Each structure stands twice: as C-alpha cells, then as structure tokens.
Structure 1
C-alpha cells in the first residue's frame, strides 16, 4: 500500500508538471495570451490523471504470482482502456473510426517497442548478475 501511495503522489505531481509545462509552452511558443479556463482545467486534470495512471499500473509487474504474459496483458488492458476513455472524452482523440484505429495501431506499436526494450534491458541485467554470481568466491 505504501508503494501504491508513493507512486500515486509521484504520478500526480509529474502529471501536474507536464500540464504546467504544456500550458507555458502554449503561451510562450504559440503566443496565446488568453486561455480558455474550462479547456485548461479539463486538459490539466487529464494530464494529472494520466500521470497517476501510468505510475501505478506498472505495479502489475511486481505481482510474482502472475506470469509475465498475464502481467503484460493486465497492464496493457488497464492502462490503455483507461487512457482511451479519458483521451476520447477530453478530445485528445478525435471522434471517428479512422482516428480510433490510428490510436490503436500507434498505441500497440509504441507499447510493443517499450515492452521489448524493457525486456531486453532486464534480461541483460539478469545475465550480468548471473555472471557476477559465478565469480563469487
């Protein structure tokens, strides 16, 4: 529970930081002098929720009773379903079949690349640790 709370706070703060960074970038680079308050609130709360969501869903990978396939499946379904609903409601994903299919294709591709990178990284780390264990006297 402590890990969940710590990760929740980190995710919330990171999401808020991203929202402030995006808003400041919009004001500075796009030369927007006036912001729509309702739109700002909706987007910043969405960013905060995304920060929380993507910081707590990796906890599935710490449940040792689940196989890697189960952990990955639960993580993907939970994170992507919640993100899709949020992004669609906020307007980050435009309405329409083509937009939804494009979102799914891009999401699957990015998720696969990130998952493979993490898998290879941790496989390499475990190989190094096993080699070091063999050299212990």
Structure 2
C-alpha cells in the first residue's frame, strides 16, 4: 500500500540529494577548469532544478515496490518504464540527450543494460541476505 507520508519524505530526500549532486558536479567542473568563462545564472538554476526534480522523482518512483498486490516482476517492469519515461523526458528538456535517433537508441540501450545489471545485483544481494537470516534462524533452533 502506498503511504503518502513516506512518499513525501522520500521525495524531499530525493530533491535534496539531486540538488546537492548537481551543485557538486558544477563545483568539481569549475575546479577542474572544464567550464570556460562564466555560467549563466539561468542555466545553473535550470540544471539545479531539473536535478532536484529528477532526484525527487527517482526516489518517489521507488514507492512502486511497496505495492503488495503486485508481483515482483510487475513492480520491476512498471518501475523500469516509469523511470525511463521520467528520466528521458527531463534529460531531453535539460539538453542532456541529443535529438538524433541513433544517440537516443544508444542511450536507451545503456539504460536497459544498466537497469538489468542493477536488478541482477539486487537479486543476488537479497538472496544472500535471506540465506544469512535463514542460517542464523536455523542455528538458533539447534
């Protein structure tokens, strides 16, 4: 079941993390002299806001996994699709994605490969955790 209070907390946390990450990237790029000249304030503010919205959205979208009536496969598919639509829409308007088709296909491919990699990693992580818990419970019984 979706919990509104938890969703709001997660979204605020995501907003803060997104903004801090964007500021850190700008700061690091400025220190490394990759930024030539002065950055327009409107560009800086726009990028910071988009990163904040993106962080808020990513954390909020993860609430899908708390819906108990859906199977894990349904949750993963819904999460992957909603997250991709959310990210690619914002990234396109932020100017992070070129508008030609071949680059979009490459970026979608990278997204799918990365998402599948994370899913496999989390599956193995939680399988190991469950085995550890079961092992500790069986040791208590003996």
TM over 0.5, shorter chain: yes
Which category of TM-score, normalised to the shorter sequence, fits these structures? over 0.9
Aligned residue runs from structure 1 range 20-35, under 5 A: 20-30=23-33, 32=35, 33-35=37-39
Aligned residue runs from structure 1 range 52-67, under 5 A: 52-67=56-71
CA distance in 1, matches of 2:60, 2:127: 23
Aligned match for 2:84, one of 80, 87, 96: 80
* Equivalent position of 1:100 in the other structure: 104
CA distance in 2, matches of 1:31, 1:128: 47
Give the TM-score, by structure 2 length.
Answer: 0.90
Structure 1: 4+ residue segments shifted above 6 A: none
Aligned residue runs from structure 1 range 2-17, under 5 A: 2-17=5-20
Unaligned runs of 5+ residues in structure 1 are none
- Kindly report the root-mean-square deviation, in angstroms, between the aligned alpha carbons of the 2 structures: 1.3
Give the TM-score, by structure 1 length.
Answer: 0.93
CA distance in 1, matches of 2:6, 2:46: 28
Cα displacement (A) at 1:26: 2.2
CA distance in 2, matches of 1:11, 1:89: 20
The answer to whether structure 1 residue 38 and structure 2 residue 45 are counterparts is no
Cα displacement (A) at 1:9: 1.1
Unaligned runs of 5+ residues in structure 2 are none
CA distance in 2, matches of 1:65, 1:58: 15
